[in-house]
Each structure stands twice: as structure tokens, then as C-alpha cells.
């Protein structure tokens, strides 16, 4: 939507988190009046705010509503609204894009991928801005960079009209099925990132992705003719590129993320040898397989970012399970834990501790399989950590990789990760 189309319109910002607040500043800069639909505790005296319960009558007072990505467009409320609904991402692409945009999405690994890509681009002298789901709102960014690297969530892709110069999908697994009202919508919404992209890069080793993407105008990683992983080494065709022992990232799956990033670097004409040297200095992000080292009698790894069962299965591949206590469970987003239960029953940790809103459901899956390893229900994460410290043998690893969002007990995965770290320090 062009800014000219917003003139003389009655505009509302719906949702006043990071993106909503950035949108307010943007509209003020553009001298466009608006009303913020928010809670009492979100009122900002700089702006006109409406704190009424948002219903169809409230929404229909406005001509245009700039909606937060967190509000699902599949709700009856949105579907029955007569106003034009757009997003901060759509506004930016329609009005502010004057540089190259590399947009990255995927069910898991996208934060590490965009951070690594930004790290490489900076190291070879490019000016970049890293925006999107990782922190800074895109709408707050100007275009005076060589590249904008955008981490795009499925929420932002759905109505964002993203027009990327390069779009990368790292992988595709069921996620956010509640917001998207089912797996089918989630997959189709995620793939919209490819629709307006000039170059499209996808993971050839991801079954669901390859089932849904057809055509010849794609670049692939995880393929023998490109960047791919064998054992603990990344190759380009037959040439060795980097070994897992040479980087600071934990886990074989991160070699796949590196392969994705190097495919982008190759596409934009960077020297791959220089890029690889930069990769070796990249440090893991907090709360993403974050190695905490020794805490008292044990070692610990904080993987609070793991919000799907498939992410936890990936984390399990990075440790010696026979010497690991695994902490899982959290907010019940409707994930199917059947595959996880079957997998962990075949290759279990020393001890599995389950807590959170979905703990009973996970526990039942294991009971139904008649699982023969040690697993236990815990009242909450604090009790699980305490039990892990008391019952894990010396020199074992305590791995928190919940496989579920944090919202049953915490505001974010960051708060959950910090709680894990601080509780370990106090109780160790």
C-alpha cells in the first residue's frame, strides 16, 4: 500500500509491541494521523489510544488497519472486518525499499542463519542492517545499506508482500499451527516468501519443502552439485569447505545452515574462502545451543529457542545422550509429539524431565509406547532443574531444549533461557 493511498484515511495500528511502536514512529515521520488500539498498560500519551475491547464494530470505524504480525488473519474477527488490513512489512516494501533485501525463513535455524550471514557480509566490508523477527522492526530501517538481511516469520510473510532480491528457506516442518489454523495454511503461508523473489534458494534435503516447491528457477543447498554435508564436514561438490571442529557452532545441522549461507554468498559473488574464514569467528547466539560450560558438578546447554519437537531432536544429536539429562515441555501449541516420542524411545537420554502445559500429553505418548527409559513429570521448570541437579551423575550434561514455546510460564524464550541459567547458578 502506497503512502499516498493512506492520506485522508482513518488509520489504526492494531497491536502495540515492537512492530506497532515502530509503525507509530514511522507514521508520525510521514505526518499521517492514526489511532493505536491497545491495552490500558500500553497507552502512550504521545498518541491517541483506544483501549476498548477490539471487536468488529471497533475495527470497522477505520478505513485502514496496520496489523501486528502476532494477530492471526484467520480469526473470525479479522475475516469479518470491512477495513483494509495491511502490515508494517508491506508498508516498508511498498514505500521504502531502495536496496537489496535478502529474506530468510524456515521453521528452525533462521536466526542463526541470518546472524551468520550478517556477520560474513560485515567481515567482507558490506554495510548491512539485520532486521525482522530477530529484533529490529523492518519498518524502522532506512535503505542506505548494501544489504538488508530480513529474518521473516510466517506471520510476517502471510501479509507482508515481501519482495526480496534473494529469498532463502532453510527448512519446513509443522509449526504455529494454531495461528495458521492448520499445517496446510502454515506451509502455504511460509512459501509466499518465494512468490516475489528474484532469486530463490531452498533446502534440497527437506522432504516437505521439496514436495511443495516445483520448477526449475531455484538454487539448492544440501545437494551433491552444491554445498552439502557428509559426516561432520561441509563440501562444495567434491571440495571440502569446513569441518565441524573448525567452527564455534554446535551440531551438524549448523553445517547445513552454513551451506545455506554460502549459497547466498556465492549468488552475490563473494569470495567463498574469505567467507569461510569469517564463519570460523562466528559465535553461537544466546539461547540457541548455548554451551554454558561447567556449572557445579555438571555441564549445561541452554537451547531455550527450541520451540518445536523437531528442534529438540536436532539438539539431541549434539550430545552424548547416555550422559545427558534432557529437559522438555512448555506451552501447548498443538504440536504432535508422536514422532518425537518414537524417536526418543529408540535413542533415549540418561534421564528425561518433562514440565509445562503440554507435559501430560508428552508423558502419555511415552506411556502409550511403553517407553523403557527413565522419564519423569515435574511440576514446573524450576522443579525440573532442581531434580536434574540432584539426580544427574557428575560430569553429565543438563540440556534444556523444550521443544515448545515458553508462554505457559515465561514471556519469551529469552526469559526462559535466563531463568534456566540463573537457576543453575543458584542451585549448583
Give φ, ψ of 96 to 5 degrees: -120, -15
Q: Are residues 268 and 253 in the same domain?
A: yes
Which residue matches cell numbers 519423569?
376
365 and 235: one domain?
no
395 and 321 in one domain? yes
The domain boundary residue, chosen from 260, 280, 300: 280
Task: State the Rg of the chain over Cα.
Answer: 23
Based on the domain organization, do 348 and 263 belong to the same domain? no
Residues 139 and 269 in one domain: yes
Q: What residues contact 122, with CB distance under 8 A and at least 6 apart?
A: 128
Judgement on whether residues 305 and 264 belong to the same structural domain of the protein: no
Distance of CA 375 to the CA centre of its chain: 28
Positions in the chain short of pLDDT 50: none
Q: Structural domain of residue 26, as residue ranges?
A: 3-86
Q: Is residue 285 part of a domain?
A: no
3-state secondary structure (DSSP) of residue 283: coil
Q: What predicted TM-score, i.e. pTM, was given to this entire model?
A: 0.80
Residue 171, domain CATH: 3.40.1190.10
Q: Where is the domain boundary, 58, 86, 114?
A: 86
> What is the chain's mean pLDDT, rounded?
92
Number of domains in the chain: 3
Q: What is the pLDDT of residue 276?
A: 97
Q: Tens of pLDDT along 176-206?
A: 566 556 678 788 888 999 999 999 999 999 8
Last residue of a domain, one of 86, 115, 137: 86
Instruction: Give the pLDDT of residue 122.
Output: 97
Same domain for 328 and 368: yes
Strand ranges across the sheet with 128-132: 128-132, 147-151, 100-105, 166-169, 199-203, 219-221
Amino acid at each position: 500500500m502506497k503512502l499516498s493511498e493512506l492520506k485522508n484515511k482513518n488509520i489504526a495500528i492494531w497491536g502495540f509491541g515492537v512492530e506497532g511502536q515502530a509503525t507509530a514512529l514511522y507514521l508520525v515521520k510521514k505526518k499521517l494521523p492514526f489511532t493505536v488500539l491497545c491495552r490500558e498498560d500500553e497507552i502512550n500519551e504521545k498518541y491517541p489510544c483506544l483501549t476498548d475491547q477490539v471487536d468488529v464494530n471497533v475495527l470497522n470505524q477505520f478505513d485502514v488497519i496496520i496489523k501486528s504480525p502476532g494477530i492471526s488473519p484467520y480469526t473470525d474477527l479479522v475475516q469479518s472486518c470491512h477495513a483494509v488490513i495491511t502490515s508494517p512489512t508491506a508498508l516498508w516494501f511498498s514505500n521504502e525499499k531502495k536496496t537489496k533485501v535478502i529474506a530468510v525463513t524456515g521453521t528452525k535455524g533462521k536466526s542463526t542463519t541470518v546472524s551468520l550471514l550478517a556477520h560474513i557480509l560485515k567481515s567482507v566490508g558490506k554495510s548491512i542492517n539485520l532486521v525482522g523477527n530477530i529484533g529490529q522492526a523492518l519498518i524502522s530501517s532506512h535503505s542506505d545499506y548494501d544489504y538488508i538481511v530480513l529474518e521473516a516469520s510466517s506471520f510476517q510473510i502471510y501479509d507482508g508482500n515481501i519482495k526480496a532480491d534473494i529469498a532463502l528457506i532453510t527448512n519446513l516442518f509443522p509449526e504455529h499451527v494454531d495461528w495458521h489454523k492448520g499445517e496446510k495454511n502454515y506451509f502455504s503461508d511460509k512459501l509466499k516468501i518465494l512468490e516475489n523473489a528474484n532469486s530463490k534458494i531452498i533446502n534440497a534435503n527437506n522432504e516437505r519443502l521439496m514436495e511443495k516447491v516445483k520448477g526449475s528457477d531455484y538454487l539448492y543447498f544440501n545437494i551433491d552439485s552444491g554445498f552439502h554435508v557428509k559426516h561432520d564436514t561441509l563440501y562444495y561438490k567434491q571440495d571440502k569447505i569446513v569441518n565441524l571442529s573448525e567452527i564455534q557452532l554446535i551440531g551438524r545441522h549448523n553445517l547445513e545452515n552454513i551451506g545455506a549461507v554460502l549459497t547466498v554468498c556465492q549468488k552475490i559473488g563473494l569470495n567463498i574462502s574469505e567467507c569461510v574464514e569469517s564463519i570460523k569467528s562466528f559465535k553461537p547466539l544466546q539461547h540457541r545451543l548455548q554451551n554454558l560450560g561447567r556449572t557445579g558438578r555438571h555441564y549445561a546447554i541452554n537451547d531455550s529457542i527450541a520451540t518445536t519437537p523437531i528442534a529438540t531432536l536436532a539438539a539431541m544429536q549434539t550430545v552424548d545422550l547416555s550422559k545427558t539429562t534432557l529437559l522438555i515441555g512448555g506451552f501447548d501449541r498443538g504440536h504432535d509429539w508422536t514422532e518425537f516420542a518414537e524417536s526418543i524411545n529408540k535413542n533415549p537420554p540418561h534421564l528425561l524431565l518433562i514440565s509445562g502445559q503440554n507435559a501430560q500429553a508428552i508423558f502419555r505418548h511415552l506411556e502409550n509406547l511403553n517407553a523403557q527409559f527413565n522419564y519423569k513429570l515435574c511440576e514446573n521448570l524450576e522443579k525440573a532443574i532442581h531434580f536434574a541437579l540432584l539426580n544427574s551423575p557428575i560430569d553429565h550434561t543438563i540440556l534444556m531444549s523444550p521443544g515448545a514455546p515458553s508462554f505457559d510460564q515465561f514471556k519469551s524464550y529469552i526469559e526462559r533461557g535466563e531463568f534456566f541459567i540463573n537457576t543453575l547458578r543458584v542451585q549448583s
